[in-house]
Amino acid sequence: MKGLFLLLLQLYFLSFGLGQNILLFPKESVTDYVILRPTVKQALKQLTVCLRSYTSLQREHSLFSIATPRLHNAFLIYPIPPNNISISINHEDLYFNVDPDVLDWKQTCVAWDSKTGLLQLWVNAKRYPRRVTTSRSPIGPQMSLILGQEQDSFGGKFEASQSFVGEMSDVNMWDYVLSTNTISNNYLYELGNIFSWTNGTKEIRGGVMALKN
């Protein structure tokens, strides 16, 4: 009996670790969002963010928004369906022409290197033509990281028309640039070193629901 209990406990933690933990953003609003608290001790010279999302939205929306006290679009992942994704770095907006959306889970990864300005976007492990930002300023260290809303001030000024409606999971963040090989093969099993989906701090606001699978 005790053995069975331990086995079930083990299975529970295994499934938790393998990306079964999902956030549901149920409605268009300015009240539903999730705050993440990454461990950032010095300004980020390099950054990789990966996340999975599932939505039937056909309007533009914010997936992942970092504001600093000085810059509200310090880092922003902002799809413009059906085939355009805007990435903002230090208020500079770069647009990527991508394959049209299909109604399914989508894996998005963005990596940036402040030294070279090299900006990379992968959707479902396909890397789109790389871009170079003019900005070379590291991001942070003080930052407000929000899922599901677009910040027009440090931690606020949301617009319902830019909110995310749908499901999100496996948000991970690294203070270095992941290799294409890692992202194409097994990034889902890689946990971020400055924010990890399995043990990072997530603060839920409004009607967002945390689901086990």
Binding site for Ca ion (CB under 5 A): 150, 152, 159
CB of 209 to Ca ion, least distance (A): 24
The one segment of 115-123, 129-137, 155-163, 195-203 that binds ligand NAG by CB under 6 A: 195-203
- Asked if 80 interacts with ligand NAG (CB under 6 A), we say yes
- Smaller CB distance to ligand NAG: residue 39 or 161? 39
- Smaller CB distance to Ca ion: residue 150 or 170? 150
Provide φ and ψ at 95, rounded to 5°.
Answer: -105, 135
Q: What share of the chain is helix, strand, coil (3-state, %, to 5)?
A: 15, 40, 45
Distance CA 14, CA 25 (A): 25
Is residue 141 reached through a cis peptide bond, with omega within 30 degrees of 0 on the bond before it?
Answer: yes
Choose the one of ligand NAG, Ca ion, none that binds residue 196, judging by a C-beta under 5 to 8 angstroms depending on kind: ligand NAG
Distance CA 87, CA 187 (A): 20
> Whose structure tokens read 């170079």?
132
* H or E element at residue 66: strand 64-67
CB of 81 to Ca ion, least distance (A): 17
Q: Which of residues 12-71 bind ligand NAG (CB under 6 A)?
A: 39
- Asked if 199 interacts with ligand NAG (CB under 6 A), we say yes
Angle at 200 between CA 199 and CA 205, to 5 degrees: 120
Site string for ligand NAG, 81-120 (x = CB under 6 A): ---x----------x-x-----------------------
Choose the one of Ca ion, ligand NAG, none that binds residue 150, judging by a C-beta under 5 to 8 angstroms depending on kind: Ca ion
Distance CA 166, CA 169 (A): 10
Distance CA 180, CA 141 (A): 26
In the bound complex, which residue of the shown chain has the CB atom lying closest to ligand NAG?
97
Residues that bind ligand NAG (CB under 6 A): 39, 80, 84, 95, 97, 193, 196, 199-200
